[in-house]
Amino acid sequence: MRTQLSFVPPAGIATELLAVFAADTQTGKGPDSKPTPRLLTDDAAVQAAAASVLSSGEYKAAANETVLLHAPAGLAAKRLLIVGLGKLARVNAHKVRDGAGSAVRFAKPRGIREIVLAQPSSASLLDAVVPLAVAARVAVEGAFVGDFDPDTYRSDRKDQSIQSFTLAVPAFADRAAVEAAFAQGVIVGESQNFARSLVNEPGNKLTPTILGRRAAEMAQEVGLEWEVHSTGKLHELKMGAFWAVSQGSAEPPALIVLRYTPQGVTDGPILGLVGKGITFDTGGISIKPADNMERMKYDMAGGAAMIGAMRAIALLKPRVRVIAIVCAAENMPSGTAQKPGDVQTAMPLVPDKPGKTIEIINTDAEGRLVLADGLTYARQLGATHLIDAATLTGAISVALAKVMGGSFSNDDATYSKFEQALQVSGERFWRLPLGEEYADLIKSDIGDIKNTGGRYGGAITAAEFLHHFAEDTPWIHLDIAGIAWVEDSRPYIAKGPSGIPVRSILEWVRTFSL
């Protein structure tokens, strides 16, 4: 998708489709308070073209509600699309992002390959809530999100992607600020889609080795340092927990390490991003039921998010050092697979000390095993702050539905930076507790800890398992099992990989920029 800004009035732009936002200005409630839609643009010609449909009562400007006008009078555009943002009082940057996605997703199936979006810019209405620069960033992010479709393996696939996206910005805007924000939005949107394209790949097309290759190619392109290791390195580092998962598969594991070092930064924090990269999770010997097992190709979404975030970090260049570690493996049942009851020894933080021992209760609780060694390795490489992302538990969806991800942290200061990041990203997480009573649930009779904690609080006991390896290093754990995959398409995003939490990881990293 080509992207550009235009500073000429939208009414004069000749285009296949001009999209403009509307919001409902009705503040009253009750039977007599009808929706009162109003366009969020200052362009008088666009206002005039939309006037009759807005006053008709047919269009309410509900969030992502669209209406299309052909040959709009007085406009150079062939079509005018009005996209609702819902109640004006509740409009924010995240609604604008979604609205831009909805405009793109409206155009795609209609064969429209080029669109111009008029910046939401009604000076009196919106500038205070969504400044023009912020709106420019989120609009182009949303356009990329909307442009992604997952049907890449259809033999008769018609490429419906938008070729050209233009944001029309009012002439009074601070051009430099808008241009900078727009350029950031392009990087963020492309990076999120890069992560989504990885998550979308089926297990046979994206083995751990291939994931490693894709990460390395990206790193090469954007100028990150990278290493991709396999079995030998796992043994050398004594990554007994990671290897325990991988040993059942004919596909070798990949230990993917990406490093970002900004010029001249030699001290301050080193952020460790650790991602679960299970390219397919059968459950292993504790095999999963056949129903829906195909979905387990997305069990590497946490790893993909870290790879996508590193791409954005490399291009946006925050002033803080970052290391990403993705532990990629297949969880398979086989003659060489680990068994329930097996005891595994995790990687030791200090090479000649003993590692923690883990009693395997259920081979399907494999994500925490690969992450255990990933977290330890990040600490060994000097990470001062850790964040991990993983499609870790079904239990997180029992707790939070497929609405929010679960977040956990052993450090309030580090977590408050993540809350700041969520304000920018618009991604939704809810913090859940850690605590000794939960840690008690994973004590083992034979070794240090066991890999499942029983029926209750499954997402929390999984987090406590990871806590054993983060120890007292400030750490955030994100359980994205419920939100990494969009189950039903929405107006602004296709069914399929969501790309969460690429944006939040990026913004969290940026809060550390020196």
**Least Å distance between CB 393 and Zn ion?**
9
Looking at the Cβ atoms of 9 and 458, the one nearer to ligand BES is: 458
How far is the CA of 479 from the CAs of 192, 391, 405, 467, 509, in angstroms?
Answer: 18, 6, 6, 13, 18
How far is the CA of 346 from the CAs of 184, 248, 364, 369, 475, in angstroms?
Answer: 40, 17, 17, 8, 19
3-class secondary-structure state, position 283 = coil
Pairing of strands 254-260, 225-229: antiparallel
Q: Which of 299, 330, 464, 507 binds ligand BES (CB under 6 A)?
A: 299
Looking at the Cβ atoms of 364 and 464, the one nearer to Mn ion is: 364
**Least Å distance between CB 281 and Zn ion?**
4
The listed partner (Mn ion, ligand BES, Zn ion, none) that binds 116, CB under 5 to 8 Å by sort, is none
DSSP conformation class of 109:
G
Q: What is the CB-side half-sphere exposure of residue 439 using CA atoms within 13 A?
A: 11
Q: Is 16 left (phi over 0), alpha (psi -120 to 50) or beta?
A: alpha
How far is the CA of 453 from the CAs of 210, 458, 464, 490, in angstroms?
Answer: 33, 7, 10, 35
Stretch that binds Zn ion, among 51-59, 271-279, 339-347, 454-462 (CB under 5 A): 271-279
Residue 124's Cα: distance from chain center in Å? 33
- Determine, following the binding rule CB under 6 A, whether residue 337 of this chain makes contact with ligand BES: no
Looking at the Cβ atoms of 133 and 195, the one nearer to ligand BES is: 195
Stretch that binds Zn ion, among 243-251, 359-367, 376-384, 436-444 (CB under 5 A): 359-367
Q: Which of 24, 98, 281, 427 binds Zn ion (CB under 5 A)?
A: 281
> Could you say which of 108, 368, 450, 510 is catalytic?
368
Per-residue contact flags (x/-) with ligand BES for residues 338 to 367, judged by CB under 6 A: ------------------------x-xxxx
Whether 288 is catalytic is yes
**Least Å distance between CB 283 and Mn ion?**
5
**Least Å distance between CB 58 and ligand BES?**
41
Give contact residues for Mn ion (rule: CB under 5 A): 281, 364, 366
Contact call for residues 65 and 3 (beta carbons, < 8 A): no
Number of residues in contact with Zn ion under rule CB under 5 A: 4
Looking at the Cβ atoms of 426 and 453, the one nearer to Mn ion is: 453
Kindly report whether the peptide bond that precedes residue 354 is cis, defined as omega within 30 degrees of 0: no
Contacts of 413 (CB under 8 A, 6+ apart): 474
Number of residues in contact with ligand BES under rule CB under 6 A: 15
For the four alpha carbons of 50, 55, 56 and 62, in that order, the dihedral sign comes to: positive
Stretch that binds ligand BES, among 84-92, 262-270, 387-395, 404-412 (CB under 6 A): 387-395
How far is the CA of 402 from the CAs of 302, 405, 479, 483, in angstroms?
Answer: 16, 8, 11, 5
> Could you say which of 113, 288, 402, 428 is catalytic?
288
**Least Å distance between CB 385 and ligand BES?**
25
Looking at the Cβ atoms of 41 and 393, the one nearer to Mn ion is: 393
- Determine, following the binding rule CB under 6 A, whether residue 479 of this chain makes contact with ligand BES: no
Q: Which of 189, 303, 367, 497 binds Zn ion (CB under 5 A)?
A: 367
- Determine, following the binding rule CB under 6 A, whether residue 395 of this chain makes contact with ligand BES: yes
If residue 101 lies in a helix (H) or strand (E), which one and from where to where? helix 93-107
Residue 158's Cα: distance from chain center in Å? 26
Contact call for residues 45 and 11 (beta carbons, < 8 A): yes
Chain contacts with ligand BES (rule: CB under 6 A) = 281, 299, 362, 364-367, 391-395, 452, 458, 481
> Which active-site residues does the annotation give?
288, 368
